[in-house]
Structure 1
Amino acid sequence: MKRLFLVLVVVLFTSISWARNISIGLDSPFFDNSTHTNTIYYVGKKPLMLIFFYPECTPCEKSVPILNDLYKTYKDKIYIIGISLSRDRYEIGDFIRDNHPLYPIYRISDKDDLRNVGGILATPTVVIIDKNGKIVSKLMGKHGCSLLKKEINKIIRRGDG
């Protein structure tokens, strides 16, 4: 019985700390390293949608128009940020030039930070975090606008948006 109680306490504290420590270091996609931020700065203001991608991923490129539509519709209610898993500035620059994302794009600073969102197994992966810092949705692969709108509207209706 004591062992079960101890396991439950550890799981509870782990999930509470995990919900509040979604920290992913982000760098500018361009040649200067003067722009550095962290996802932790966005938590507490509005919900956050993180789009993890590789610049040369075809489904990632095809997702940009959908994400641009979402950005235009929801930019006042939710932060939408693209995070390149590639550190190659030329690849990212080509992705931005060719696909014209309206939402901000960053490079991940340290891939070890991906543990904070449970890892990324495929791209694109969309992670939606409520304004309290809790991951409420994680979608892998290319998804249509209607599914992403449904997830965003769900978090807005809950009062987290």
Structure 2
Amino acid sequence: MNKKKRLLMRTSILLLLLVAIGYTMYTNFFQSKEIVDVGDEAPNFVLTDLEGNEVMLSDYRGKGVFLNFWGTWCKPCEREMPYMENQYQAFQEQGVEVIAVNIRETNLAVEKFRDRHGLTFPIPMDKRDQVRQAYGILPLPTTILLDENGKIVKKHSGDLTEEEVKEFMEMIKPK
């Protein structure tokens, strides 16, 4: 009788663990992670850039914002950075800003990357991964386009060609 109780208890625990693992896998792989979507107002954030300046998203109202989430280790991110810089130079005078939010890296690694690629746009540091999580960003790179009112007009995951970066900046250029 004692062996039957132990077997029943072990079977129950194993079944409970399998259900928990199944539920976890389902929620991680099959449910949408999107927290913000096209048409939503972009959540405000305040981060510090490499120079120690605060970057507050709401300060960019009135401008189109090319909000990019990236990492130095990310090869697609590295490929699109020169395109972003080229188009930033072309569109900055037309009211378009690039904010390239770096995810969980050291200032030194990002400074080296910035200097190697000659980047001039703001690079706020999301050291605690709070902004990426608030936006539900997976994978990197992900770009979110904001109009001059702070509304999300497009989301794009994956790297971009220079033509796509130019097209996206045209989309968010204030009228």
Q: Under TM normalisation by the shorter chain, which class is it?
A: 0.7 to 0.9
The alignment status of 1:134 with 2:151, answered yes or no, reads yes
TM-score under structure 1 length normalisation: 0.74
| Whole-Å separation in 1 of the counterparts to 2:104 and 2:127 | 10
The one-letter code matched in structure 2 to 1:88 is: T
Structure 1: gaps (5+ residues): 1-13
Counterpart for residue 147 of structure 1: 164
Check the 8 A contact 2:104/2:128 in 1, yes or no. no
The alignment status of 1:25 with 2:52, answered yes or no, reads no
**How far 1:112 moved relative to its partner?**
2.6
The one-letter code matched in structure 1 to 2:43 is: I
Counterpart for residue 82 of structure 1: 100
Counterpart for residue 111 of structure 2: 93
Alignment of 1:50-69 (within 5 A): 50-69=67-86
Identity among equivalent pairs (%)? 22
| Whole-Å separation in 1 of the counterparts to 2:108 and 2:155 | 28
- Residue aligned with 1:136, SS: strand
Q: Alpha carbons of 1:28 and 1:150: their partners in 2 closer, same or farther (altered >3 Å)?
A: closer
TM-score under structure 2 length normalisation: 0.69
Check the 8 A contact 2:96/2:172 in 1, yes or no. no
Check the 8 A contact 1:124/1:140 in 2, yes or no. yes
- Residue aligned with 2:145, SS: strand
Check the 8 A contact 1:55/1:86 in 2, yes or no. no
Report how many residues are paired: 138
| Whole-Å separation in 1 of the counterparts to 2:121 and 2:130 | 24
**How far 1:68 moved relative to its partner?**
1.2
**How far 1:18 moved relative to its partner?**
4.5
Greater C-alpha radius of gyration: 2
Check the 8 A contact 1:83/1:107 in 2, yes or no. yes
**How far 1:72 moved relative to its partner?**
1.1
Structure 2: gaps (5+ residues): 1-35
